[in-house]
Every structure is written in C-alpha cells, then in structure tokens.
A and B are shown apart, each in its own frame.
Chain A
Amino acid sequence: MSDIPILKIGDCLLVSIQVDMHDRLAMALQDDLTHRIVTDRARGVMIDISALEIVDSFIGRMLNNIAAMSRVLDAVTVVVGMRPAVAITLVELGLALTGVRTALNVDKGLAMIRDLIDSPEHTNARRER
C-alpha cells in the first residue's frame, strides 16, 4: 500500500501527489490505483500534480502507465495542476504524455471527466467543429 491517499468522488478516483516521490512509492501508487479502479468500479481517475515541482521521465512513465491501465479498464485519466515551469521543462525534455489528458485544476478536471464519461459523442463532435 502506498502512503498516498486515494479519494473516491462519485465514480471518480482522486489522487493528490504531495510529496517528492522516490521510485518505490511511485510504483506502489501505480499498483494501488489500478486495484482501486477495479474495486471501486471507477470510470475516471484524476491525478493532481499541483504540488510537484519536478516531473521527470520516470514520473512521466508512471502517468502514462496509469493512463494506459485505466483505459484498459474503461476509465479515463486526467492530470491536473501542472505547474508552468514543469510544463516548459517537460516540453524541452521531449516527454510526450500519451493518452493522458490534462486540465488546469480539479474543477475543470472533474468537468472534463464528466464530459468524457457521460457523452463521448458530444465531446467528439465539439472537438471537430
């Protein structure tokens, strides 16, 4: 069990990463989340990284893995709260967060998950306009 709390909000899981994680903790979180998606029948996963000052390729890999695993389990993943300095560094680093949607904050993240889960056709139509 990782020490990072995972909250349930309706059919969504919310994780707020507050500490500078070492690798074991990151792996434990990945495992925990995957289990909880199944046990709680979650349709959405929101990862709040607003407290993270650094996102390196290892954390990036973790986020990609979580997104990939949740997609297999028919859940969507949204990462929220990325700091500007982190975004600029990630772009320079060349790390692509594949399959990970991003939103500015928890509010917008929940709205995005709602959109994606409730009416996927509606969301797709909006994208194409």
Chain B
Amino acid sequence: MPNKESVIAALIDKNQQALLRGWLAAQKRDNRSRETNAPTADVAEQFLRHLATGAAGGRFDDISTPEWAPARELLEDFSRARVSQGFSPTETATFVFSFKEPLFEVLQREADGLAQIWNITLLLDRLGLYTIECYSRTREEVIGRQQQELLELSTPVVELWDGILALPLIGTLDSARTQIVMENLLERIVASGAEIAIIDITGVPTVDTLVAQHLIKTISAARLMGADCILSGIRPQIAQTIVHLGLELNVVSKATMADALGLALRRTEKVIVDRAKVTAGTGD
C-alpha cells in the first residue's frame, strides 16, 4: 500500500512539465510588480525535482531530515539572492506558496484530492516559512556587517598639533566599541609619538558606571603608552551624573575641547601669540 508521500512523488514526476508551466504562470500573476525570468524558471525546475526526491524518501511534517537537504539548500540560496535583489519576504515566500495552485489541480484530477491536499499544504507551508527564515537570517548578516563598519568608521583619531591627539567619541561606548577605540588610539600614539590625547565625549549621550569604566580603561591604556589624557566635552548633565554616581575618573577634565587644547598646548610648552601684538612690540 503506497504511502501518501510516495503518491505525491509519483504525481510530481509524471506531471512535471504541466506543473512547471502552471507554477510559473501563477508566480507571474502573484508577483505583478516584477517579471518572472529565466533564472527563476531554472530554480523552479530544480525545486520540483528536489520536492519529488524529498517526497519520495522523507516525511511531510519534518523538513529538517537529510532527504530534504537539497530542497533546503536550494531555498536558502534562492532567499539570499532575493534579499540582495531587493525582493520583500512575501515575494520570496510566494515562490513556494504559488506552487499550491497547479499542484492542487493535478491532485484533484488524478488522486484522492482532499486527503492529499492537507498533507501537501503542510509541507509547502513549512518550505515557504523556511524561505522566510533564510531571508531574515540574511538580512541580519547584512546588518551585522554594517554595524561593524559603522563601529570602525566612527572612531577617528585626529592629530590637532605636534604631539597632541584628539579622539572625538560619537555615540554610546560599549565594550566592543571600547576595544576598537583603544586599538585606534594606541596605534596613533605610536605612529605620532603624541604625549597628550584629548578624549572628547560631547557626542556620548550618557555616562553611567559602565561607560565610565570603559573611559577609565582607555585612559589607562593611553597612559601605559606614555600619553597623558584630558577629558573634554563634559556637558552639565554629565557632570551631575558623574558626581551623583560617585564616579572617580582620575583624569583632568575640561568642559570644551578648546579648553582642553589650551591646556595641552601649555603642557607641551607651546604659546600662541597675537601677531598684531608681536609686530607692534618689535616696533615694525
């Protein structure tokens, strides 16, 4: 007595061309906004074959088994491609769901329609949902990559003057960011021989105990490399929070980067003079 799965497998094999034609027509109709083109037809044909293989050997209520591996891999590649082509999750899943129409037609004609329809619905639903899962995962990978790039781009180190570096921090300071900040800063200290680093936190929204710890780590690391730090960009609310939380930063801090630069220049024995005053003084 053939089981329901092998009945479906045999049906698919026998009616492959008709199913393919009907499926592509259904996709075209369902995805009105985009054309169904040749590559999709290829993928559809391969999927039909994998569907038949899976149906012949596997069960309909569990697509995680090895029999369904070729079908899963095909759908995963398909979903990834759809993400990069800018399709929506629905459009991507419709690839699988639109197969129901032609398949149900064949089932009605050639087999005990109703019983089979329930089983195959279960299977196609699972496969359709699988494409959505793959789609989400691909999107998350893209977001992760972009986050990483953002992290690296948003921690520039600038040399304000001989031996004076400035590190304007923008955004929250978490431990991942702190690692990158420390690496960038220390590398620049080595490359420039700077003895003073101004860490500006104007762009850091809040300073709590954790952020303070990260700042302290960065300052300690710079000190070990022979560079002294000046903290600048302390907004009044931040000053209040620091006192309120009893945070000991152990670093000279200034309200503005201008003040910090002034201090740094004095420390490095530099003086800025008003040119008019100088020339007047020499009697020129």
Contacts and interface: CB of A to CB of B under 8 A. Distances in A.
Direct contact of A and B (CB under 8 A): yes
A97 B189 CA distance: 19
Interface size range of chain A in the complex = 10 to 19
A41 interface: no
B254 to A, nearest CB: 12
A103 B225 CA distance: 6
A91 B178 CA distance: 12
B179 interface: yes
B267 A104 contact: no
Interface string B15-26: 000000000000
Interface string B189-215: 110010100000000000000000000
Interface residues of B, number: 20
Given A84-B190, A129-B263, A129-B267, A91 B225 contact: no
A46 interface: no
Nearest to B194: A104
B187 A84 contact: yes
28 contacts: A80-B226, A82-B224, A82-B225, A84-B189, A84-B190, A84-B221, A84-B225, A87-B182, A87-B221, A87-B225, A88-B183, A88-B186, A88-B221, A90-B221, A91-B182, A92-B217, A97-B224, A102-B223, A102-B226, A104-B189, A104-B195, A104-B225, A104-B226, A105-B193, A126-B267, A129-B263, A129-B266, A129-B267
A108 interface: yes
B267 A88 contact: no
Interface of B: 179, 182-183, 186-187, 189-190, 193, 195, 217, 220-221, 223-227, 263, 266-267
B263 A88 contact: no
A82 B186 CA distance: 10
A95 to B, nearest CB: 10
Smallest CB-CB A-B distances: 10 pairs: A84-B186, A104-B226, A103-B226, A87-B224, A91-B221, A87-B221, A91-B220, A91-B217, A102-B226, A88-B182
Nearest to B269: A126
Interface in A93-129: 97, 102-105, 108, 126, 129
Nearest to B185: A84
A87 B193 CA distance: 16
B224 A91 contact: yes
A129 B270 CA distance: 13
Given A88-B183, A88-B221, A108-B226, 4 more contacts: A88-B182, A91-B220, A91-B221, A102-B225
Contacts of B187: 84
A91 to B, nearest CB: 5
B179 A88 contact: yes
A65 B135 CA distance: 59
A37 B195 CA distance: 28
Nearest to A90: B224
A102 B195 CA distance: 11
